[in-house]
A and B are shown apart, each in its own frame.
Chain A
């Protein structure tokens, strides 16, 4: 396809997606109503209406909505390409993902049978009333969860990634030293440091950075004050694209919540609040098996966390609502994963009796709640917290637990991490590999959670600023490599996996931005 057709295909797609949205009807309404205004003249109708929509900020809203669609739209494919191909172009990846899904579903079903718990059931009225009253303090109502275990943990997932093989590539031939160093056995197009220096030029040594240039000993006049001023301007302009660019150098704490919402085009309008209330009603009406998994996960992770225990109840609310949100299903058009299906009792296998389970198509795993936890520092309104989390999930987090060839996908991150270490710290890599402490075995859990629960919250937010700013999770792999580099000296002295893990056990004192900057821009290449 040439560029012209590509653009027109994209435009058509965006128009199609926005047609019929709430924004669409609002724009129409505004356009109609403005006809009564004196400045709208018949002879220049089109131009005047346009000017009005621009001046009243509606054009900006449309722009932000288009921008949002461009974010999640898959690159236009060949007209003959199948929907599967759009989800994931590589067949062996698709197969691996399907196999993994089958395993998860099987384990979920066997848990159901073993425990005699139905996948879903309507709550009796008394129970509904009880839950309504307890909505804000679900943490105090502790159901017996001892029989439930997470469906899978990151380390189970890692085993699957390690076993990935490209059938078109015969590993026995062309055996290079490199291919057997690491755990990931396939090749994907990943970046080297010179390429990343180009891509992340706002992080370079001569650019001001929040997380470095806002330290107490740096006079605010050098960078911080001006950056803050620009941040306020970006917010007053309500420009999603500008906010994203701005976020590359970090968001000031006091503006971050608004800036992220702007980047993600997440709003807290009456219709958003209504949507949230509907989800809440759905939780109150029906009990799902996955609810127990969510409870269990929060109890195992956030409830014991020094930073996040305070938000335990918010996490239940957001995650339970999330599991009921069928709007999440949309993201499966560009996610290599496919929502699991379950059948109405007695109709197993009959497609017409198949339902997506859970309703949002996402089965939570051990650590899932950590995707929400840091956001609780930014939003104290549950419906807003929900909107932002859902958008973060359908843009980024889903990629961290589905098998795909996307540059932001977990497979690429693993490979990226291994290649960076192999290239720039070969001795360290060799040493760790020799003592049976494959670096990826340690770093994997950090990357699956985008470091949530490992870094201190202020540092984590600085990292996520850059994820949003660069629209990519690649930086997560870079940070993982930078952490190993930072602790290289100690790691060279360890002689076992356990002691290597001990050296890297506590990341809460790390300063993210200096680590990234030094790794990307001060490493000899």
Chain B
């Protein structure tokens, strides 16, 4: 109940935010001492060492509270099925059908509400709030209505473009008022002198509204400190540091020692997102090459490994969204329309957040990729326990887990789901301690289990492998990710908090 009262005081403190809550890019830059990197307190089924005090914190009771807290947010989002999924053994298919009806109605209602609100705003809202860097105008553009001002100039400005299937755009089904309330909560939290990271994690677990995602990610990843007054200073220092590396190292890319690294990066960048226009822009490709090259030569134990390039994309897209018109599709934005200084900010922030991510999974990319081998084995053990029919089917047909799940681990499922879903998934990964390593495993297990029936229908090796390497997720949106996360959370709750449960019987 203490949390309730502190919550409401936060609301009061943050009253001034509310006026501006619908304006994107208005996030105050943030400042401070480096927050210590999050410590692991989740145990891999493979029996990682647990610190005693960490363990004590995570006894059953706490775990339950944590679970309750996290899922209670689901009510805010209207994801009622999330809670059901976590508690009951419902067939996903059944939930799908009924949820689809509800969500369809809901989103129709939400869209009409949102349109209404946007029109109202456009009429009333023209007061200030352009921060020097944030380049967004105060005009609101309901999606697809007209080309309009702002940065997000469409590459093909010839008029209406139908949305693409590969759209990055973050799609919410929540009503605007709920979304606004959630945004207010975030802004209140950001404004606290010393932000409680567990509060932020709890708020972010069930998805972060687009408007506050860039700041939330920077804090969650450990890039920005929890102390509000030190964030701006940190940003400036880290950005300077990054461009110091560029000055110092980037010219070494053609030297014998590093030639191979740069050659590989240079081969991979142009082909990383062939269907998304923004990634065909040379200026964007150059940014990715610099980020990856600098990271690679500063981490010689792994260096650049194919797949790491994908991991920059969500950061880049999210941080770019901070500087462009709310309703312009990031994938069609022309980066050369942004001032160099803004592009530099996006580049440096993407570099540091990607570095933080990779710090947690570096053994995925060192020689022989032990992190991946370990996770593939853990996935196998987990499936053996939670989906015996599927496990035996795969065994009988000679399908090895490495053959399909190597890529799941190496690219964090980014090759398996649309980019917008990855972004949503990362909201949660960054809210979990060691999310990209430990929680990812449970997500993979839930992911495989979800296609269990389809795999069981395939009667031979080639059928199964073709299915598992080309899973039908093109249409996936937040709803599917929420279901996946609920299932993954259930698995984590069952196994990670009781690692011996898995170890002894496997």
Q: Do A and B bind each other?
A: no
Which residues does B use to contact A, with CB under 8 Å? Answer: none
